[in-house]
Structure 1
Amino acid sequence: MHTKQTSSLKTSGFYSVLFTLLSVGCLHAAEPIVVKENGGWCWFQGKRAVGSDGKVFFTSISGDDHGDWNAGDLVVTELNLSSGETSHFCLHATLQRDDHAVAGLCLLADGRLLAVYGKHGNDHFQRSRITLRPGDISEWTQEQRFDAGAGYTYSNVYRLPGEDDRIYNFHRGRGFNPNCNFSDDGGSTWKYGWRLMQRTSADLSDDPRYTGMDGRRPYVCYASNGRDEIHFIATDDHPRAYDNSLYHGYYKAGNLLASDGTILAPPTAAGQPLKPRDFTEVFTGTAARVAWASDIEIDALGNPFIAFSVQVDGAAMRNRRGAGGMDHRDFYGRWDGSRWHVHEMAHAGTKLYSGEDDYTGLVALDPQDPNYVVISTNADPVSGMPLVSRTDGQRHWELFAGTTSDGGETWTWTALTKDSTQDQLRPVIPKTESDTRVILWTRGTLNSYTDYHLDIAALPVPR
């Protein structure tokens, strides 16, 4: 394990971008800069980036050998928002060349940082490390392994002060389904908790919405209110396996609840787990409208707001892997305390690569502003026309900022990147104490989840 400090050139680079942006006061005044060479991430881990005391911490996993990193290196980066200085710590060298193996980060009550991670189902281990001091990633505890009882994938780590600081880690594990482990001592030791929901082969039998390919696992994104609730959105299954709908529920005080607060069941290790469809349906899927979760956050009133993608062109080809995925739409949903309001936001473009018809550039919600999103798309958000760069004549994924003043019914779009020579993908907006929004994303080439050449870029945007 090693630390790596960046050069002064990168330090001054981020600061100069920030200064220019705030001085000129317009989005196009800033240019994105690389804050971490050689890094990628998946989107079913949380949080990939967190803010504290004027810093942003984020996690990434190297896709190949460049930028002084080796393929599969799992790294945490610290970005100082005042000085622009960045530093990096390798949590686990050559863990796995797979973006599913990226960590979930959680700030502890004393300001130290907990990182939880694992491989892409290749072993049973939930791995974790904790910084020795608040706000300093230069030294960590030794890696701890906890046997999750089945192949382990995805880490979603949330601390609930309302439960005496119990920490939950939701992951895919037993039964190839979402489960949780928990810690009552700040992440030092762990115990198995319970299965959040269940999907089995029997659920697919004789179901006309099953495509006959793959299946048997919901996909879940999580968010916490920072006190006593953990919210989630879930699909029925993998989108190539099933004509997915999308559901919302949450955990609170030992119970699983629907969106309106109706108690559905207490989660117990021995009990009969709920099905995804037992939670509140937010979007109804069909062969012509297949949903996949992108992001979820909680607003200042404690209400969830969400983003998800929908494949709209594959109805005639649902039983042929790789045949569809040329037309996706990004959707936005918001719970007002009594019902869900769901609207199509934008054209999300085509699939990222063959074999995964439902992989899109993704949407990042701003945890501090439900009226602001960043999307990655290779189509004009409004017209759907292909985005062809005037620089190299190729079609690329670009970033757009979207704002709404009517709860998501209509959106105004502003290009954050334009005429790129590489793809701008998978944005993330961490919660910070700053009046500047920091957008992070992966930039480069993504051929598959195990074959990518990406860097992590950043752009500061005033709130």
Structure 2
Amino acid sequence: MTAAISDNGGWCWFQDERALVDATTGTLLVGAVASRGGAGGDRRGGDVDLHVVDLDRLGEAGAATTVTLHPGLESDDHDNPALWRRADGRWLTVFSRHKSDDLTRWRISEGEDPTVWGPEQSFDWRTLFETPEQAEALGGGRGVTYQNLHQLDGVLHCFVRAINDDPCYLVSHDDGGTWQFGGRLLTREKVGYVNGYARYASGARFGTDDRIDLIITEHHPRDYATSIWHGYLAGGRLHRADGTAVGELGRGLTDPTLRAEDLTPVLGNGSAAGGATLTHAWTTDLRRFADGTLVALMTARADDTAGTSTARHAWDAPTHEVDPIDHRFVRAVLRPGSGRWEVAELAEAGPQLFPHEEDYTGLATIDPDDPHALWISTVVDPRTGATLAHHEIFHGVTRDAGASWTWTPVTEDSTADNMRPIAVPGDPSRSVLVWYRGSLNTSQDYDAEVVVQVRPR
């Protein structure tokens, strides 16, 4: 069954979980941000929404309810909320603006009903500094972006791009009721826009919370010839893939901090794959499975000639526009006990979505209950290589450890683009896929509806 649940919504891909299923009640929660360029955008633009869906009634009138967590926060898909199911059955949602203030905001449901929420609270990252001069010297006051919720040794962590635009984190010892600064995870000198783009994964769904894995770039791929690196948090330390500890966690604002290059390489800039040279890699998705297997999805430019420039033009300046760039999806697997990632090109992603963002693609998502399955959004049919009129979504399955793939179309002959799919965790008995369908002009201006597909496994 496939149905639209909202006529205005979108999301970025650096927050998790962006959607969750309560298997007991058959309820889907999907976070989204309404755009000023979408339906009713003059009154809904910037609403941080939570769509609550009765999956057993999908497609029926009244099956979906929209709760606005924060009206008019900002018309920007980077403001999408992250979700967490607390031990007491209540829901937690955490969100922020896109570098335009320094607040991490959160709300907790009143009881287990995800349509009724308590008041908004916030953590102000500016309170970490004693003076404005210290904040400026250490890279504070530049705004925060992205929230990712994961548990480690019974402590809830919220990873945020914050001080100096580095990956930092808050910790909560009461399952999201209150938050304190936990530390700066990595840092480096600024190049261009911001520092590393991270995706995180943990095993809490499988009853383990002994480690949190991450993959990360050095900077934004439009500003730097990025590679992707991997490490994990466990036992109070940050480790490489082979288990080598490279530093302590809990680093303060003035403590020396590791760089991405201190971790394990996953996809190096200049790697060869599929007969092409891959550069400007970007993190897309990361999942950890019950046996400890890690699967990562990434994108990269193939045989790129555009290069990088930190002298950014205005987004609408014609002098900034570049020719279409060939992008590829890349899949990597880290098997239990191994310290080396197995990396292979997966499929063609097609050119950038719009000229002023050289590395935006339709994206891909890993099946949270099957390491051998995934979905991609692309304008190049992975079965034939034919160019499609719009981004379509394909389901891919491998039975030979990624050597070959069987592709099945989820959408076909569409009249609009289908982008940024999310394979939703929570109910292993059925496959729940969410994406948005429409047009994307910028991260602040889009006209798209939120679509859900549910299938039994």
TM-score (ref. length: structure 2): 0.86
Measure the CA separation in 1 of the matches of 2:226 and 2:324: 14
Q: Is the 8 A contact 1:314 1:323 kept in 2?
A: no
Post-superposition shift, 1:306?
0.5
| 1:253/1:221 CA distance change after superposition, 3 Å | same
* Equivalent of 1:309 in 299, 306, 322: 299
Q: Is the 8 A contact 2:286 2:294 kept in 1?
A: yes
Post-superposition shift, 1:236?
1.5
State whether structure 2 residue 275 is matched by structure 1 residue 276.
no
Helix, strand or coil: the match of 2:261?
A: helix
* Equivalent of 1:119 in 76, 88, 97: 97
Post-superposition shift, 1:145?
1.2
State whether structure 2 residue 352 is matched by structure 1 residue 351.
yes
Helix, strand or coil: the match of 2:164?
A: helix
Q: In the alignment, residue 399 of structure 2 is paired with which amino acid?
A: S
* Equivalent of 1:181 in 131, 154, 170: 170
| 1:58/1:216 CA distance change after superposition, 3 Å | closer
Q: Mark the runs of 5 or more structure 1 residues left unpaired by the alignment.
A: 1-16, 18-31, 205-213, 388-394
State whether structure 2 residue 275 is matched by structure 1 residue 299.
no
* Equivalent of 1:219 in 197, 220, 242: 197
Q: Is the 8 A contact 2:437 2:448 kept in 1?
A: yes
Q: In the alignment, residue 271 of structure 1 is paired with which amino acid?
A: D
Measure the CA separation in 2 of the matches of 1:146 and 1:321: 37
| 1:336/1:421 CA distance change after superposition, 3 Å | same
Measure the CA separation in 1 of the matches of 2:231 and 2:278: 25
Measure the CA separation in 2 of the matches of 1:398 and 1:413: 12
Q: Is the 8 A contact 2:369 2:428 kept in 1?
A: no
State whether structure 2 residue 239 is matched by structure 1 residue 257.
yes
Q: In the alignment, residue 331 of structure 2 is paired with which amino acid?
A: Y
Helix, strand or coil: the match of 1:97?
A: coil
Deviates more, 1:363-372 or 1:228-237: 228-237
Post-superposition shift, 1:139?
1.5
Aligned residues: 411
Residue 148 of structure 2: aligned partner: 156
Measure the CA separation in 1 of the matches of 2:439 and 2:219: 27
Post-superposition shift, 1:314?
2.1
Q: In the alignment, residue 293 of structure 2 is paired with which amino acid?
A: N
Measure the CA separation in 2 of the matches of 1:35 and 1:128: 24
Post-superposition shift, 1:384?
3.5
Q: Is the 8 A contact 1:314 1:324 kept in 2?
A: no
Residue 137 of structure 2: aligned partner: none
Residue 145 of structure 1: aligned partner: 122
Measure the CA separation in 2 of the matches of 1:49 and 1:312: 31
Measure the CA separation in 2 of the matches of 1:137 and 1:293: 30
Post-superposition shift, 1:433?
2.2
Q: Is the 8 A contact 1:348 1:381 kept in 2?
A: no
State whether structure 2 residue 46 is matched by structure 1 residue 57.
no
| 1:325/1:239 CA distance change after superposition, 3 Å | farther
Post-superposition shift, 1:385?
2.8
Measure the CA separation in 1 of the matches of 2:125 and 2:30: 24
CA RMSD of aligned residues (A): 1.7
Measure the CA separation in 1 of the matches of 2:117 and 2:34: 20
Q: What percentage of residue pairs aligned between the two structures are identical?
A: 35
1:63-74 equivalences in 2 (<5 Å): 63-64=35-36, 66=39, 70-74=44-48
Post-superposition shift, 1:444?
0.5
TM-score (ref. length: structure 1): 0.85
Q: In the alignment, residue 192 of structure 1 is paired with which amino acid?
A: F
Post-superposition shift, 1:271?
2.7
Post-superposition shift, 1:288?
4.8
Q: In the alignment, residue 168 of structure 1 is paired with which amino acid?
A: H
Q: In the alignment, residue 286 of structure 2 is paired with which amino acid?
A: I
Q: Is the 8 A contact 2:241 2:264 kept in 1?
A: yes
1:16-31 equivalences in 2 (<5 Å): 17=1
Residue 234 of structure 1: aligned partner: 216
Post-superposition shift, 1:383?
4.5
Measure the CA separation in 1 of the matches of 2:293 and 2:242: 10
Q: Mark the runs of 5 or more structure 2 residues left unpaired by the alignment.
A: 127-140, 271-276, 310-318
* Equivalent of 1:412 in 406, 412, 436: 406
| 1:115/1:316 CA distance change after superposition, 3 Å | closer
| 1:198/1:321 CA distance change after superposition, 3 Å | farther
